[in-house]
Structure 1
């Protein structure tokens, strides 16, 4: 897991091939005005989703992906994200193959505030819980790049 500012995202391109494509997209498109939806890129191992929602702490579980890493970038608003290790997760739900996701409960190791200009990179297998309110529920807009993690199983 990496949490840093967007200006430093290119420094991590050697970790996953799709990061370079994510950087290219961020430099060439205005995501703050782009419509909510699912999008592809010129690189098959990199796609992205734009979403708008209200932050909430109700019924939140850690999510884990087996095949893809997430680069989560706040476009408007801010939210709390939490991270933990797989060993601290329990009550694992069923893995949903077509969505590459499973949910679990667990103890938080790290809690941070995601704001525009920052990013969080969660590698495949790293449990994370985004979408939590900073102080009260608020509407946010976010882009999440989904990058095929060659190291995943």
Structure 2
């Protein structure tokens, strides 16, 4: 997991080369003017969504992706996210179509993400989002 300011996103391109496409999208598009929903990029392996929440999501499970790297960019507001160890969580069956395993577990750490920051979750890293605050964010899903 990486948490940093959006101005440093380019520094992580050697680690995640597909971030170049994410950066191009950020520079070309006005995400705050987009409707909530799913969007495609020029790359067939990169898609994104715009989401918004005004109150905590109740009873949410941790999610873990096996094949996709998830890049979340906070566009407005603040969001509280929780992390857990995958070894300490109980998983439900893997949903191959959506590349996600939902997990029950206790949080081991939290992130208080703010506007202008991004979070990268690598395959195998469980996280729970939408635990509080009021936010709008772009969520990129990168598949090799």
TM-score bucket (shorter structure): over 0.9
Distance change in 2, residues 1:52/1:67 (3 Å): same
1:4-153 matches, cutoff 5 A? 4-90=4-90, 92-134=91-133, 138=134, 140-148=135-143, 150=144
Q: Separation in 2 of the partners of 1:115 and 1:82?
A: 14
Tell me, yes or no, if the aligned pair for 1:81 and 1:111 is still in contact at 8 Å: yes
Q: Separation in 1 of the partners of 2:68 and 2:25?
A: 18
- Unaligned stretches of 5+ in structure 2? none
Q: CA RMSD in A?
A: 1.4
Name the SS of the counterpart of 2:9 in structure 1: helix
Q: Separation in 2 of the partners of 1:125 and 1:82?
A: 15
Name the SS of the counterpart of 1:98 in structure 2: coil
- Unaligned stretches of 5+ in structure 1? none
Deviating runs (4+, > 6 A) in structure 1?
A: none
TM value normalised by structure 2: 0.92
1:20-71 CA-to-partner distances (Å, cap 9, x unmatched) read 1001111111101111121111222211111123331521211011111110
Instruction: Name the count of aligned residue pairs.
Output: 144
